Amino acid sequence: MLAIRNYVPEDVDVTIEIFLRAIREVASKDYNPEQIHAWAQVEDAAAWARARASRPTWVATCKGMPAGFSDLEPRGHLDMMYVHPQFQRRGVASLLLKTVEAAAHEQGLTLITTAASLTAHAFFQRRGFVVVAVQEVQKRGRTLKNLRMEKRLTAVR
């Protein structure tokens, strides 16, 4: 049983854990160990908490257990969407994306953008996102490839 709730300050540790485990255990199939090490770090939990609280952020739960989280920046950028390895392929990311898209509609946005990892690319593509650029980003001295993607939203009737 999946559910969505709003992020609360007490979610800081669990969202960090989901972030780190998703990268280390799931994205590791598409990135090398040095890239994973550079990416999978949270040096300041307070800054993490401020970022999550600064924008709409949602936590997906499965039978009450935190299973994933996502957010939406004010101009329609989906900055974070991570699913705990234990809850992969159970509809968690789909439910989070549906929540993000509903919030974007409520805000009157017509476009959602994201920087999708190589791991997440196919998920977003299957849900109507298109690649607009291949990017190389720097994380702690390592270069990682990701894909700038976007999805045009249709008007809700």
Q: Dump pLDDT digits (tens) for 55-90.
A: 999 999 999 999 999 999 989 999 999 999 999 999
Query: What confidence tier does 156 reach under pLDDT thresholds 50, 70, 90?
Result: low
Tell me the whole-structure pTM to 2 decimals: 0.94
Write down all domains in the chain, each with its CATH number in brackets: 2-110 (3.40.630.30)
Q: How far separated are the first and last CA of the chain, in Å rounded? A: 28
Q: What is the mean pLDDT of the chain?
A: 95
Residue 53's SS3 state is helix
Asked whether the beta carbons of 67 and 82 are under 8 A apart, the reply is: no
Q: What stretches of 28-78 adopt beta strand conformation (E)?
A: 57-62, 65-71, 77-78
pLDDT at position 123: 97
pLDDT at position 157: 53
Q: Which residues contact 59 (CB under 8 A, 6 or more apart)?
A: 4, 5, 6, 7, 11, 14, 15, 66, 68, 69
Asked whether the beta carbons of 140 and 33 are under 8 A apart, the reply is: no
